[in-house]
Amino acid sequence: MSRHHLLRPSLLALLAAVAGVAGVANAGTLQISVTDKDGKPAQDVVVLVEPATKVAPKAPAAPVQVVQQDLKFSPFLTVVPVGTTLRFINKDSYDHHVRSTPSGPLGSMPSVKNFELRLDAAQEASASADEYKTAAPKGKKSGTSWQDVKVDQAGPIGLGCHLHSSMRGQVYVSGTPFFAKTDANGQASIDGVPDGAAEVAIWHPDQLAEQTPVRVTVTAAPVKAVGQLNFTPRKRKG
């Protein structure tokens, strides 16, 4: 075997390593802080980054869970890429009838996916369960009732329950792989954003009008951005 052939695998490995480093160098991290109209940290704001060169999102292999427990959707806001399978799981001791609803205070944003799911109670109902909680039949076996829904279009999906009108939740389906939601401090961080110009869109379930996008230039070093809602979100119970 010639010396040329002996060196070839090492050369290929070196080129692969260089390519890997170059790939890391061509992506950066966006750190954004979002406030409401009054300048206070805004929680549960969807942050979407659209690079100049669009990148198609990739759906996760496993379903993303949205749990119904204690008459609440948990988490309240779920953000997923297009193509994701959502798994709705009832962990309450009474039935739920999960349904998609329009988003926004006035229901001005139609749901991008329409569905209704009857989910049986997860546990045997207690004697104290009242008629409004649709108690499970006596002797029902303990377990978790769930159903899957695949979301294939970008946009909002409001969540409600036919049986419990106080239950409200939200799903946002992202058309970009670079997304996040803000925490209680109004902060969000998104890794792996391609270098170069990008537009950052922000969205909140309570908005009546589109929010002003933020334009940034992503580099290898973390980039900080600031966004502000043009309204003050309602306070959620619990």
CATH number of 28-55+178-233: 2.60.40.10
pLDDT at 236: 79
Calculate the alpha carbon distances from 167 to 96, 99, 104, 121 in Å. Answer: 10, 11, 15, 16
* Rounded distance between C-alpha atoms, residue 182 and residue 203, angstroms: 11
Q: Does domain 59-175 have CATH number 2.60.40.420?
A: yes
pLDDT at 26: 85
* Rounded distance between C-alpha atoms, residue 75 and residue 80, angstroms: 12
- Sorted by where each begins, the domain ranges of the chain are 28-55+178-233, 59-175
pLDDT at 178: 98
Q: Tens of pLDDT along the chain (238 residues)?
A: 444 444 354 544 444 444 443 444 489 999 999 999 999 999 999 999 999 999 999 999 999 999 999 999 999 999 999 999 999 999 999 899 999 999 998 888 999 999 999 999 986 544 344 433 444 444 444 445 999 999 999 999 999 999 999 999 999 999 999 999 999 999 999 999 999 999 999 999 999 999 999 999 999 999 999 999 999 998 877 5
* Rounded distance between C-alpha atoms, residue 67 and residue 87, angstroms: 8
